[in-house]
Structure 1
Amino acid sequence: MKLNATKIDSANANVAATITTDVIATNLEKMAKQLSKTMNVAGFRKGKVPVNVVKQMHGDKLQEDAQAEALRVLFADAIKELAINPEDVIGEPAVTKYDKKEDGSIEVEVKFSVRPAIDLGDYKALIPAVEDKEVSDKEVEERIAEMASKSAPLEKIARKRALKDGDYAVIDFEGFVDGVPFDGGKAEKYTLQVGSGSFIPGFEEQMIGMKYEETKDVVVTFPTEYQAKDLAGKEAVFKVTLHEIQQKGEAELNDDLAKKMLPNEKEATLDMLKEKVKEQLKSEKMSKYYNEDLKPAYLEALVAAISFDLPQSVVSQEINAALNNEIRAMSEEALNKLKEDAKEIEALREKVTPDAHNSVKATFIIDALAKAENVDVSDQEVTQTLYYEAMMMGQNPQEVVKFYSEKGYLPAIRMSMIEDKVITKLLDSKLKS
């Protein structure tokens, strides 16, 4: 097998070769012999099937497998010749030429990408100035008052009046579609805050003005993306009976509130709660400041300052992903225009290419930064983060993790967490210096 392997640059390589008929024939013979030992063919004992019979029965498949094996060996030889670590190869090799000749030989060309070597230089010198965010006493008091209000008990209003926005309504309800009740559409003595947006759009607004023990038909339409597919987009009538109107009672700001808010602290006090809230508010402020202002600026500076060759296979994937995102967001009219004119697609590709290049470049820089700073994120940390976010959203954590795992999203989530962790570490170091 004649082979010519060359490096296009430090992140991309090309292999041109001729796979001879002898190589293919040798591979085919070897595979046929291996298969003959395991095949079950009527009239022959297992393991004693003649090779020529195997070839007659599976000739085409064996021919394909023999050629694929030749390609595999070709690629392995090219990596060895170019002194490339197999672990540095990114993605699958792209066969750009596969030309079968009359004599049975095959001329092939294969392009592949490798992880680029990156010289970060003095990356710490590019960290932007970091301002320490302060939290005022007023902000702390407002947050504690909000916490107290949410934890305050519900109390029945002193006098009977019509229901208004913000009230807590104790109701019975039953839903019907085409006059037929549906599963999950019924409840008794259910407490609903009017204006919370907890129910189907339009439901809570139609309740405003109801009086004690009044029954009313509330007509709504389920959203088209509603989770229960048999109800999505359908009109429903809910028979709603109002039993009671409640409001939040007065919340007292004292040590009892602190004990409720800090259940793991044995001797919780209001002052201790204020300190905890102040820490939380500062963390929120700094996180927002980092994510919205400093991280984008720092990444932009790194991308502009650091030069290295990009793996073209990764760049192409990023460009195609960006192109698909643009197309998905188009109107039907714009899509039709795109289909009629190939130049429009190329113009769109040119539009997304610079950002795609920078995105790929930033990803490799983050990876290099993480190695330089000894930052990593374990699979357990990814799972814990997904669990926490799922619980905050009222979702089943195990189902969320399973969904992301099956979709193949976990590596991207891990990379995002590494990015956040390493840049936060560098910004924190600037703040403390």
Structure 2
Amino acid sequence: MKATWEKIEKNLGVLEVEVDAERVASALDKAFNKVVKQVSVPGFRKGKVPRPIFEKRYGVESLYQDAIDILLPEVYSEAVDQTDIFPVDRPDVEIDQFAKGETFKFKAKVTVKPEVTLGDYKGVEVPAVKFEVTDEEVAEELERLQQRHAELVVVDDEPAQSGDITVIDFDGSVDGVQFEGGQAERYSLELGSNSFIPGFEEQVVGMATGDFKDVEVTFPETYHAEELAGKAAVFKVKVHEIKRKQLPELDDEFAKDVSEFDTLAEFKEDLKKQLEGRKESEAKAARENAVVEKVAEGATIDIPESMIQSEVQNMMRDFDNRLRNQGMNLEMFLSFSGQTTEDLQEQMKTDAEKRVRNNLVLEQIAKTENIEVSEDEINEELNTMGEAYKRSAEEIRSILAANGSLGSLREELALRKTIDFLVENSKEVEAPAAETTEE
């Protein structure tokens, strides 16, 4: 096989490939074996038609498309490796020649990973990150724990307040006509969660158990269902039950219930240490991000739109997975927030471009500085993952290999080492004091 690559503009080039006639013949054989199973010819059992009879009746050309579909992916992949390019989008393929007894020729317009021109990346200055844990922050953490361990108590003699969980029926209509998704029975709604259409939850506040009420709202102009966007709606609401959080007392008994300590004082001291450790990790991450951002800003890259869109899709999948872990999904989120998929993708686009830029710059620095990952480092990471997932390192390796993710693990470790290299070669400086003016 012969393969040549010629850049035509920016990150776009043409890959020209010629495949020998023997491989074309092999692909035609595979195509025939696939197609003949579905062919019936009088005098022959289905799938048993001899090749010469098949070609005389249907023509060898009837096998060409199947043969191309079989051959093209494997030879394209080989051509990419042979020419040492890194495609970042689907190729635009044009078939120049394909016939029995001849070579297979095709051209593919390919968008490749862009070239990166690095700026200064050693000795960059970033603001020093300082942190301390205050008594107020410890108190806030204790309050969060109180909320987490609160009991839900049914309230019968008081109206609903913000923060209460109401069990309601609702039946929504626009101009007197019900709309899809506007009805539910015994739905649990936390007032103040802003999970419903703006204005809905505020009008449920003050209702008591057994109350009926018409809640009038207006759908946002940007609501995902175009037929409802901007329209006034009426929801007939009935309150079945009101539940309110009852917080536990902050005392030694609380400390015993939620921790390994016997007294609240000991527990608060441990909480402070935990918060210090968390802030230290956050400060480390903040410095890493600041260094990478500054180094990336100094680089020159012409990023293909396809790379940004691909990263947006990755971010959408991650967001959907996080929602599912919370008992929701993307469709529900869009419904509640009044956004469209396009709105969400547009919001993610800036961060997606930044992620792509940062990764490209880190990859180029790793290449320039010969930063590589050893097998010992791979094994160490597999051991760490094994401990986290309660599996052996070999099991983790097998799972990653089966998913084709071992290469991604190596790339991730190389990026981590590159970030460590940049941080070690950076300088923390005190942020300048804010200027004051005297009248």
TM-score if structure 1 supplies the norm length?
A: 0.53
Change in CA separation of 1:317 and 1:366 when aligned onto 2, cut-off 3 Å: farther
Asked whether the equivalents of residues 12 and 114 of structure 1 are also in contact (C-alpha less than 8 Å), the reply is yes
Match of 1:206 in 2: 203
Match of 2:50 in 1: 50
Task: Give the fraction of aligned pairs with identical amino acids, expressed as a percent.
Answer: 20
Asked whether the equivalents of residues 101 and 107 of structure 1 are also in contact (C-alpha less than 8 Å), the reply is yes
1:333-360 deviation line (CA, Å, top 9, x unaligned): xxxxxxxxxxxxxxxxxx9999697256
Match of 2:291 in 1: 298
Amino acid at match of 1:175: F
Change in CA separation of 1:255 and 1:238 when aligned onto 2, cut-off 3 Å: same
- Stretches of structure 1 that go unaligned for 5 or more consecutive residues are 331-350, 386-407
Match of 2:106 in 1: 108
Asked whether the equivalents of residues 362 and 419 of structure 2 are also in contact (C-alpha less than 8 Å), the reply is no
> CA–CA distance in 2 between the matches of 1:29 and 1:204?
66
Counting matched residue pairs gives 357
Verify: 1:269 aligned to 2:258, yes or no.
no
The CA RMSD over aligned residues, in Å, is 6.4
Amino acid at match of 2:275: L
> CA–CA distance in 2 between the matches of 1:280 and 1:419?
30
Match of 1:361 in 2: 360
CA displacement at 1:135 relative to structure 2: 0.8
CA displacement at 1:237 relative to structure 2: 0.4
Match of 2:304 in 1: 315
Amino acid at match of 1:260: D
CA displacement at 1:5 relative to structure 2: 2.6
> CA–CA distance in 1 between the matches of 2:16 and 2:40?
40
CA displacement at 1:256 relative to structure 2: 1.0
1:158-177 deviation line (CA, Å, top 9, x unaligned): xx7x74744758x7744345
Tell me which of 167, 170, 175 is aligned to 1:175: 170
Change in CA separation of 1:30 and 1:138 when aligned onto 2, cut-off 3 Å: closer
Counterparts in 2 of 1:72-83, with a 5 A limit? 75=76, 78=79
> CA–CA distance in 1 between the matches of 2:419 and 2:266?
27
Amino acid at match of 2:287: L
Query: In structure 2, the residue corresponding to 1:44 is in which secondary structure?
Result: coil
Match of 1:282 in 2: 276
Asked whether the equivalents of residues 124 and 426 of structure 1 are also in contact (C-alpha less than 8 Å), the reply is no
CA displacement at 1:54 relative to structure 2: 1.9
Match of 1:219 in 2: 215
Change in CA separation of 1:81 and 1:219 when aligned onto 2, cut-off 3 Å: closer
Asked whether the equivalents of residues 37 and 48 of structure 1 are also in contact (C-alpha less than 8 Å), the reply is yes
CA displacement at 1:151 relative to structure 2: 4.1
Asked whether the equivalents of residues 215 and 234 of structure 2 are also in contact (C-alpha less than 8 Å), the reply is yes
Counterparts in 2 of 1:99-138, with a 5 A limit? 99=96, 108-110=106-108, 128=126, 131-138=129-136
Amino acid at match of 2:213: D
CA displacement at 1:115 relative to structure 2: 8.2
Match of 2:332 in 1: none
Asked whether the equivalents of residues 291 and 422 of structure 2 are also in contact (C-alpha less than 8 Å), the reply is no
Match of 1:16 in 2: 16
> CA–CA distance in 1 between the matches of 2:417 and 2:424?
11
Query: In structure 2, the residue corresponding to 1:274 is in which secondary structure?
Result: helix
Query: In structure 1, the residue corresponding to 2:239 is in which secondary structure?
Result: strand
Asked whether the equivalents of residues 206 and 218 of structure 1 are also in contact (C-alpha less than 8 Å), the reply is no
CA displacement at 1:217 relative to structure 2: 1.5
CA displacement at 1:43 relative to structure 2: 0.9
- Stretches of structure 2 that go unaligned for 5 or more consecutive residues are 317-340, 345-349, 390-402, 429-439
Change in CA separation of 1:136 and 1:417 when aligned onto 2, cut-off 3 Å: farther
Asked whether the equivalents of residues 170 and 236 of structure 2 are also in contact (C-alpha less than 8 Å), the reply is yes
> CA–CA distance in 2 between the matches of 1:109 and 1:260?
69
Match of 1:143 in 2: 141
Change in CA separation of 1:117 and 1:216 when aligned onto 2, cut-off 3 Å: closer
Change in CA separation of 1:419 and 1:274 when aligned onto 2, cut-off 3 Å: farther
CA displacement at 1:100 relative to structure 2: 5.0
Match of 1:63 in 2: 64
Verify: 1:186 aligned to 2:186, yes or no.
yes
Amino acid at match of 2:357: N
> CA–CA distance in 1 between the matches of 2:74 and 2:148?
67
Change in CA separation of 1:199 and 1:92 when aligned onto 2, cut-off 3 Å: closer
Query: In structure 1, the residue corresponding to 2:236 is in which secondary structure?
Result: strand
TM-score if structure 2 supplies the norm length?
A: 0.53
